[in-house]
Chains A and B, each alone.
Chain A
Amino acid sequence: MSAWKYKRLTPKVIASKLRLISKKDLTDLCGRNLEAVSLELSKTPYKQDIAGIPTARLDSLSLERAFFRNFERTCMEITDCAPRGVKRLLSAVQSKFEANVVKTMLRARAANISIDEAMSYVIPAGRLDEASCRGKLGNSKNIVDLIETFSDLGYGEVLKNSLTEYETTGALQTLEAVVDKYVYSRIWEAVGKLMGVDRRISRTVLGIEIDSVNVKVVLRGKALNFHEDQIKRLLVSSSDVFEAKDWENAMRSRDVKSAIESLLSAARSSLARDHQYVLNDVLKEYERSKSLSRLETVLDLGLLKTSLRMVRRYTYFFNVGSALAFWNLKWFEIRNLRAIIRGVEANLSSAEIRKLLILPY
């Protein structure tokens, strides 16, 4: 492990971390109106992104776009400072947002809406900037044409492989799941190329992230009484904590609780301590509230807590842990801000908004 590799990344992460909005400031925003929230945010690093929004058009949609612009810029700055292997990993993680753009474009084409309307849903990310999205949508009349336009990005090939299934079932979710699978497998590949502590940290943090996605799908599928095959089609690539049979056992479980217990026992036999912490919290929450949405919040919180635990567990400065932790902190800050502005817009009480915030401390 070389500390020299992190000579640019670590100071950048520390400086960026200092600019995150504190828990107190975040909860204070809950009780204000949209204008006041926007005014408060203009005193933060979001100033540059919010400044362009005219007061008359100030709403949750425009603010959400501004937050995403800020998030993407911050991620780019961090990625640019990262050493080569970590850069590859962070770029792969960033491609989750690019995948979102692909899915949005697929949905827009399936709904056959105009390019301008489609662009109102697209939040450009990564290689898919606004001009490229417009070009791709303009050059395609249907899903097949659109998939063809993604050939230069790598999504084209995986989408083409699932086109027959899509044409048979007519379910766009098949294609959406394929895009997610592709992105998460790229992330997992990038994790595999790291060495030492970086690899250990990334495997834990990103493993929990990927497994959280799968756990959410399995538990929601169980709650909605979907067949095993239906759930299986939507699973993204798994971390090395769970094997395919563990997911199958969870899918075959009687109910949500036994599915969690089955995954927990699989995590115990893999000696995955961090997975056990998260799943224990999930089980406790489910037994307490019987609510899937609370359970999703606990999973998200679990990811955030794990990233921060990694920072505490390993040497603070010279590994990928602080970058991943910052990345997650920033993402959940964006999520919390989005929740606050939508809640404020819908005139929800401060207490109701706070319930949906993911606060790690």
Chain B
Amino acid sequence: MSVDLAVIHPTRLELLRLRRRRTLAQGIVDILKKDYEALVLALFELVRRIPILRNQVREALNEAYNSFIAAQMIVGPTKTEEVSLTCDPVDFDVRLGSRKGVLGLVLPMLEFAENATTDANPRFSLLDTPAKLDESNKGIVTALGCIIKLAEAQATMKEILEVMSVKRRQINRIEYKVIPQLEASIRYVELILEETERQDAIRVRILQRKRKERALRTVLVSL
């Protein structure tokens, strides 16, 4: 851990300043660790939610596909394929937004919005298709909603992981770089100051000894 000691003024004032900075850095590390813990809790919450959402997607798709196969069984695969030639695709939008999450983080928000059918036509021919096809369609729309919720959860997780990695880097930098550097600087200043104190003490003792010798010589001369 290299510290450029040449730029440090080994003074008491500098020592106080360095100590203040170390206390501040430790305070920052504590706050960052608490933030990190809050992020970990939010991440665990998401980790618990994602498999549930995945299951919901799987169930909705299963239901939709089963209904679709049932529709094919009722009217025949040729007819279902043929009807699909002229049927409009599911008209939906994904609204992108943001929301305040844990620690006031701006997290992505995805919202599924099925556009209401504006024209007066059903999606499939009511005369040639069974109601199972509507059930399948409904299942697909539900699955789409779940897929978008899942995408939102995964985007949130990615965002939280990124913030966590930034926080971790900040904690590491302060804990393993800034604080040791400050401590090294403090030790250096303390050493210099102790050295100066020792030198001063010796100097005082020499001066006192010289003063005593001078006084003794003066007494001897007067006698």
Contact = CB atoms under 8 A, between A and B. Distances in A.
Asked if A and B are interacting partners, one says yes
Given A107-B86, A230-B120, A234-B126, A121 B78 contact: yes
B13 interface: no
B85 A230 contact: no
Interface string B18-30: 0000000000000
Contacts of A346: 69, 72
A213 B81 contact: no
A356 interface: yes
A121 B126 contact: no
Interface stretch (B48-56, B92-100, B130-138): B130-138
B145 to A, nearest CB: 18
A353 B66 CA distance: 11
Interface of B is mostly: helix
A339 B71 CA distance: 9
A108 B85 CA distance: 7
A293 B132 contact: yes
B146 to A, nearest CB: 22
Interface in B123-171: 125-128, 130-132, 134-135
Contacts of A351: none
A115 interface: no
Q: Which of A64, A176, A342 has the most B CB atoms < 10 Å from its CB?
A: A342
A23 interface: no
A100 B83 CA distance: 11
Interface of A is mostly: helix
Contacts of B119: 169-171
Contacts of B101: none
B121 A169 contact: yes
B130 A234 contact: no
Contacts of A172: 86
Contacts of A226: 120, 122
Interface stretch (A44-52, A185-193, A215-223, A258-266): A215-223
Contact of B134 (A173, A224, A230, A339): A224
Contacts of B132: 293
A342 B127 contact: no
Interface in A96-117: 100, 103-104, 107-108, 110-111, 113
A227 B125 contact: no
Given A108-B85, A121-B82, A224-B134, A64 B76 contact: yes
A213 B131 contact: no
Contact of A295 (B69, B121, B122, B131): B131
A352 to B, nearest CB: 8
A176 B128 CA distance: 9
A95 to B, nearest CB: 15
A221 B126 contact: yes
A236 B69 CA distance: 27
A293 B77 contact: no
Contact of A110 (B76, B85, B122): B85
Interface string A286-320: 00000111011000000000000000000000000
B178 interface: no
Given A292-B134, A293-B135, A338-B76, A180 B70 contact: no
A180 B127 CA distance: 8
B121 A123 contact: no
B74 A173 contact: no
B82 A230 contact: no
Interface string A154-189: 000000000000000111110011001000000000
Contacts of A293: 67, 70, 74, 130-132, 135
Interface string B35-79: 000000000000000000000000000000001011011101110
A173 B77 contact: no
Contact of A173 (B76, B125, B130): B125
A61 interface: yes
A32 interface: no
A94 interface: no
A352 B74 CA distance: 13
A217 B125 CA distance: 10
Contacts of B67: 293
A207 interface: no
Interface of B: 67, 69-70, 72-74, 76-78, 81-83, 85-86, 119-122, 125-128, 130-132, 134-135
29 contacts: A64-B76, A107-B85, A108-B82, A108-B85, A110-B86, A111-B86, A123-B78, A172-B86, A176-B125, A177-B127, A220-B134, A224-B134, A227-B120, A230-B121, A230-B122, A291-B131, A292-B131, A292-B135, A293-B70, A293-B74, A296-B131, A339-B73, A339-B74, A342-B69, A342-B72, A342-B77, A346-B69, A353-B73, A356-B70
The 6 closest A-B pairs by CB, nearest first: A292-B131, A111-B85, A339-B73, A171-B121, A121-B82, A293-B131
